[in-house]
Structure 1
Amino acid sequence: MSGLPFVPVKITFETSSFPFILKAMISAETIARFPSSPGIYIMKGADSTVLYVGKARDLKKRVRSYFATSGDSRYHIRFLMARVTDIEVIVTDTEKEALILENTLIKKYRPKYNFNLRDDKTYFSLRMDMTEDFPRLTIIRKVTRDGARYFGPYSSASAARAVLKQLYKLFPLRHYPMESCRKRKRPCLFFQLRQCSAPCHGLISREDYTALAEGAGLFLKGKTREIVRIFKERMAAAAATEKYEEAARFRDLIRSITVTVEKQKMVTQGGDSDIIGFYREGERLYLALLFIRGGNLMGSRNYSFRWEMDDSEGIASFLNEYYNQDVFIPAEILLPLPIAEPAPLEELISEKRGKKVCITVPCRGVRLELVKLAGKNAETSAMEKKKALESCESVLKELQERLHLPELPRRIECYDISNIQGRVPVGSKVAFLDGKADKAHYRRYRIKGVSQSDDFAMMREVLSRRFRQEADRDDYPDLIVVDGGIGQLNVLTRVLEELHVEGVAAAGLAKSRVEREMGAAEISRSDERIFLPGRKNPVVLRQNSAPLLLLARIRDEAHRFAITYHKKLRGRELLTSRLEGVPGVGTKRRKELLRHFGSLKKLETATLEELQKVEGITRTVAEAVWEHFHPKGNQE
């Protein structure tokens, strides 16, 4: 232990009996006093910033491995330890408690050297509650233990809707809530398309509908053989009792199911599994997650994050954070390599699922091949991200050269104004980082200081507020683009000069204009032009070139963001104006009516009973609102 570095640390032990703090230099004697019990350790930097949170079955052994010269010799571990000035240790009774505490502290501190799943999007699943009289499938984000059946996961809502679209052709379940369907005088269009059995109008018995719902559930689980067997039995029973139309319906269902799944390949002998594969490139760890449902490969999801610790520790941290979300948990999780202390993690995930979950590392057979397949997916994802980054770098370099920018424009901001003759004016800011939308830095501005239709003054207010309210220099972009020509660009440069904003390039992107010469048979458009400060003539990039398309995409996104906000505020203004003069309806009640009904059209068609259900609306006020939209002179 002679090579052990001496780092001043604070070691905090918390036990059920008493807490105590020991300040010492890390040495062999100090480490010898560490507890050989489960718990978590928090590594901090000089400014008390939490750098890393880890768990261990044996805290003494784990912490010693970081400081021993024969231990972690990897560069990133040594770099981390060079920054550590403080260590806090919290002792727990069990390893499972250490896992829970580790996950809680990671979410609280978001340490630089820990795995962070913040950029992940929640999966979509299909939910069906079999306790309902006529169950239906709905797309949901959150999987809860409410007794309903959940199917998936699906990477997007569009993927889930595509599954539903195909499913309704096989199993005509209802699409909408029963209450809304029963208000109709006749079945909806889906019944005419034979994609709904119309239970709302009594066109199918509860028993037959339940059979369809059970079949849909088995289909989503991948148990198609069992569906075919059940439906063949029902077809034979119907034929035996001379119910030939019902038998024909089951025959058509069997045929459709067979055609749909004949190309689907079963990869395992039934069961649900999640397969983890990984690929390491430098300080980045790429993970691929394959979903096996009912023995069939249903989908995948890729992750990429900066991880400077051990690969197995990264996989364990991923499992702890991923399955702590509201996601579907299968009966089996297959890993590419062993993780330290898998038993407490297995116990924790099993508790969340409500059933036993096995975490295993396969050594041979089909499961090993699936893990290798997941690894190939992770590697492919890494290569694709690398190529995309290289492509983005080349586009940004070309843009830098053509616009003579001092820095590579990694962060680009664009501003736009939206109003109708000065009414409800708004501004928008969108941000792009490395060619991708950075929606966390999008901003919307309600313009307050301009009372007339003056786009230049409105742009000036938006830009001034941006750089006065968000004065953090680290958050400044490399390039600002305004939607417009020389006029808007002059406003931008003047604001930057007045507020002493340095190191930020400016440009104005003017849309193409329609050009038509007298007597010409065709209409032509001018090129999109880029105006730069101090330059009279615009820069014209090659049309459909990658740099111009990038700028146009950013400009169009700013326009879309501004228009969306403008329409929202305009709708509120319209509602306010239509409700002015109604006795008893003030600002608070107008807002509540808008929130409840969502639009003026729905409010106008609302019944007196529906108006009374709005919070804060009495019967007298409801009658006044209803009479306002239904004057006696217009009633038949």
Structure 2
Amino acid sequence: MISSEKIARIPTAPGVYQMKGENGTILYVGKARNLRQRVRSYFGSSRDSRYQVRFLVEQVSDIECIVTDTEKEALILENTLIKQHRPKYNINLRDDKTYFSLRLDLTEKFPRLTVVRKIQKDGASYFGPYASATAARAVMKQLQRIFPLRHYPLDACKKRKRPCLFYQIGQCSGPCHGLISEEAYLALAEGVALFLSGRDRDLVKKYRQKMLEASTAEKFEEAGRYRDILKAIETTLEPQKMVTAGEDIDVVGIHRDATRLTLALLFIRGGTLTGSRSFSFNWQLDDAEAIASFLGEYYGQEVFIPASLLLPLPIPENIGLPELLAEKKGKKVDVSVPRRGLKLELVELAGKNAENAAVEHWQKQDSSANVLQELKERLHLAKLPVRIECYDISTFQGKQSVGSRVTFIDGKPFKPGYRRYRIKNDGQTDDFAMLSEVLSRRAERAAEDPLPDLLIVDGGLGQLGILTHVLTELNILDIDTAALAKSRVFAAAGDIEVSRSAERVFRPGRKNPIVLRQNSKPLLLLARIRDEAHRFAVTYHKLIRNKATLTSGLEEIPGVGHRLSTRLLQEFGSLAKVKAATVDELATILGVSLKLAQTISKHLAQGRNPQRH
């Protein structure tokens, strides 16, 4: 517990506080307008009495404060420290790679739409976000039917002798072959920007005017094109429902369930509801603080910042966030908690979305728990296999041999638990010895990397025997083990049809395998884990083999060894660039003399360059 004397010495300025455990590990990072007042709310005589807050406070042995000049600086520092230390009790979004946007740069010649992951400050316009690349491409495909922008890079299009197929079906205006003027094409691109911005009335008005101008000038083909675009726009917009008066708004909804907090974001673009996202966290502290922490994390990424942000409840120190958002957007961002009217209804709708997302989360958790319980019963395991690890070996004639480990928690992949092993005794063809090496290396690190509830190897009784032997030698006897053997194919000579055996699970102490019901959820889970371990091993093996193929080819050059060949590839980036390098460029590499550079250049020029496998 932090003493009252220590709290009294904390400054009253804005800044960031870090709660630390006994071993110095940072448990929680928070920001405050008044550091002393905020810390006292946790540890003082009038401290927060809620169980979840007391649970965190009881683990804190020290607290460190960093003073800043403004609340905005405190918010920035808080985000930096969270990303650096990843505290246990903070919201951590990591790098959310599921956001996609549509990019359109009206300053380039004949602009085109592209799907991108990140928003950059490059002068282009970005529209979204979309929940997946599939959703973004579906929107882009629909737009290209209305506005025939080019689909491919301009240089690639110009190399064609005739316009592409998209031009033939009316989904490209053929700018690469001079079939549309730059002015007319720019009008199409501006129409896309207006459409995606939700400025539908402006868009329709603009194209009606252009249709009238073209018709008056007796450019009937052009007028017909604008007429068709107008029809397509009106058809597309007809089912859309306007939510607000052409505004860009993000709406936050919240749902609390025990110690779990679910947040939902509704995206309103141009007055129309375009999508939503949900986020679920184990959160021990105040709901308002959760929202503040989430918003700092979320908008700290490269995401679209709307003109207005609607919240379900006030957040602490609600000054730094609007300032930070305004700085990133380049204009004022309104952050408010609506009390009545349409905007309050939107917040309530976001809350319902958060509640639905929470229900789906628990349903999935229940389903996963049922599968693990059934797996425990069918395989006669000592405990529920919450954490499962699976191992596989990948090799080619005993060379570039590697092992893989994948980890699943609650039936889902846990990527931080994935590991790759380079077999030290490379060149051997004994799969059992390689598996033994990998398992031994894994077991030796059990103190810092906790062992799973269930450990699986790909194979049969032989592989299970190796696994059992390694664990026995290391005196690790309290975890369940199993081997999963693939189904076997049976076919007599001349038979047209073939039959397959069921997949089999071997367990220690049993001569006969356990056969799980075909397509049952426990079997599908085991097969998924086994296949993921195989994929992970093969991917690493191919990477190692390709590198070895390149370096071994360069090593054929007199005077070039393994280290130098690796250095050449690292410095130039690829074999093709090594081949294209001049003698002087080669001679700049450490370990390459002018004479050796001439030898390398001559060898590669004569065609004795290594071949990619």
TM-score > 0.5, shorter chain as reference: yes
Which residue is equivalent to 1:409? 385
Q: Residues of 2 paired with 1:614 and 1:287: CA distance? A: 59
Q: How does 1:23-34 map to 2 (within 5 A)?
A: 25-26=3-4
In structure 2, the residue matched to 1:99 is 75
Residue number in structure 2 paired with 1:253: 229
Q: In the alignment, what sits opposite 1:486?
A: 461
Query: How much has 1:147 moved relative to structure 2?
Result: 1.7
Q: Which residue of 1 aligns with 2:518?
A: 543
Residue type of the alignment partner of 1:180: A
Do residues 299 (structure 1) and 275 (structure 2) align?
Answer: yes
**1:341 is matched with which residue?**
317
* Among 457, 465, 483, the residue aligned to 1:508: 483
Name the aligned partner's letter for residue 419 of structure 1. T
Contact 1:170/1:256 (<8 A) preserved: yes
Unaligned runs of 5+ in 2: 588-596
Q: Which deviates more from structure 2 when the two are superposed, residues 336-345 or residues 39-48?
A: 39-48
Amino acid at match of 1:138: T
Structure 1 residues 613, 361: closer, same or farther in 2, change over 3 A?
farther
Q: Give the Å deviation of 1:143.
A: 1.7
Is 1:63 matched with 2:39? yes
Aligned counterpart, 1:4: none
Match of 1:196 in 2: 172
* Deviation for aligned residue 1:521: 5.7
1:177 Cα offset (Å): 2.7
Q: Is the 8 A contact 2:31 2:74 kept in 1?
A: yes
Q: Are the aligned partners of 2:583 and 2:598 in contact in 1 as well (CA < 8 Å)?
A: no
Deviates more, 1:227-236 or 1:85-94: 85-94
Alpha-carbon offset, residue 430 of structure 1: 1.2
Question: Which of the residues 461, 479, 499 maps onto 2:474?
Answer: 499
Q: Does 1:531 align with 2:506?
A: yes
CA contact (8 A) 1:582 1:628 kept: no
Q: Could you tell me the TM-score, scaled by structure 2's length?
A: 0.89
303-312 vs 515-524, which moves further:
515-524
The residue identity in structure 1 corresponding to 2:50 is: R
Alignment of 1:373-412 (within 5 A): 373-412=349-388
Identity %: 60
1:192 and 1:591 map into 2 onto residues whose CA distance is 50
Distance in 2 (alpha carbons) for counterparts of 1:530 and 1:442 = 23
Q: Which amino acid aligns with 2:39?
A: V
CA contact (8 A) 2:395 2:402 kept: yes
2:162 aligned to which of 182, 186, 191:
186
1:233 to 1:74, Cα distance in 2 relative to 1, 3 A: same
Q: Does 1:555 align with 2:530?
A: yes
Distance 1:619 1:330, change over 3 A: farther
1:6-21 alignment, distance < 5 Å: 7=1, 9=2
Cα gap change, 1:437/1:612 in structure 2, threshold over 3 Å: closer, same or farther?
A: farther
Distance (Å, rounded) in 2 between the aligned partners of 1:231 and 1:559: 56
Partner SS state of residue 342, structure 1: coil
Aligned to 1:3: none
Give the TM-score normalised by structure 1.
0.86
- Paired position in structure 2 for 1:21: none
Offset at residue 286 of structure 1 (A): 0.8
Matched, 1:114 2:93: no
Shift in CA distance, 113/306, structure 1 to aligned 2, threshold 3 Å? same
Q: Which amino acid aligns with 2:159?
A: K
The 5 A counterparts of 1:227-238 are 227-238=203-214
Instruction: Please say which of residues 440-449 and 619-628 is displaced more in the overlay.
Output: 619-628
Question: Does the 8 Å contact 1:592/1:614 carry over to 2?
Answer: no
- The one-letter code sitting in structure 1 at the alignment partner of 2:510 is R
Whichever residue aligns with residue 464 of structure 1, its letter is S
Q: CA deviation at 1:353?
A: 1.3
Secondary structure, in 3 states, of the residue corresponding to 2:138?
Answer: helix
For 2:195 and 2:599, locate their aligned partners in 1 and report how far apart those are by CA, in whole Å: 53
Aligned to 2:286: 310
Q: How does 1:77-476 map to 2 (within 5 A)?
A: 77-118=53-94, 120-121=96-97, 123-468=99-444, 470-472=445-447, 474-476=449-451
Question: Could you tell me how far 1:539 is from its partner in structure 2?
Answer: 0.4
Residues 193-246 of structure 1 show CA distances to partners (whole Å, capped at 9, x for unaligned) of 433333233232211221111111122222233222212221222222222222
* CA spacing shift, 1:92–1:444, aligned 2, 3 Å: closer
Q: Is the 1:268–1:295 Cα contact (8 Å) retained in structure 2?
A: yes
Runs of 5+ in structure 1 lacking a partner? 1-6, 10-24, 631-636
1:45 aligned to 2:21? yes
Greater shift in the superposed pair: 563-572 or 259-268: 563-572
Q: Is the 8 A contact 2:4 2:44 kept in 1?
A: no
Aligned residue identity for 1:515 = F
Contact 1:279 1:382 in 2 (8 A): yes
Give the secondary-structure state (helix, strand or coil) at the position aligned to 2:239. Answer: coil
Count of aligned positions: 599
Q: For the structure 1 residues 628 and 519, does the alpha-carbon distance in structure 2 shift closer, same or farther, using more than 3 Å as the test?
A: closer
Greater Cα offset, 380-389 or 147-156: 147-156
Structure 1 residue 615: deviation in Å? 7.2
Maintained 8 Å contact 1:596/1:614:
no
**Cα distance change on mapping 1:614 and 1:111 into 2, 3 Å:** farther
Secondary structure in 1 aligned to 2:244? Answer: coil
Conserved 8 A contact 1:607-1:626: no
Give the secondary-structure state (helix, strand or coil) at the position aligned to 1:628. coil
Letter of the 1:270 partner, please give it.
Answer: G
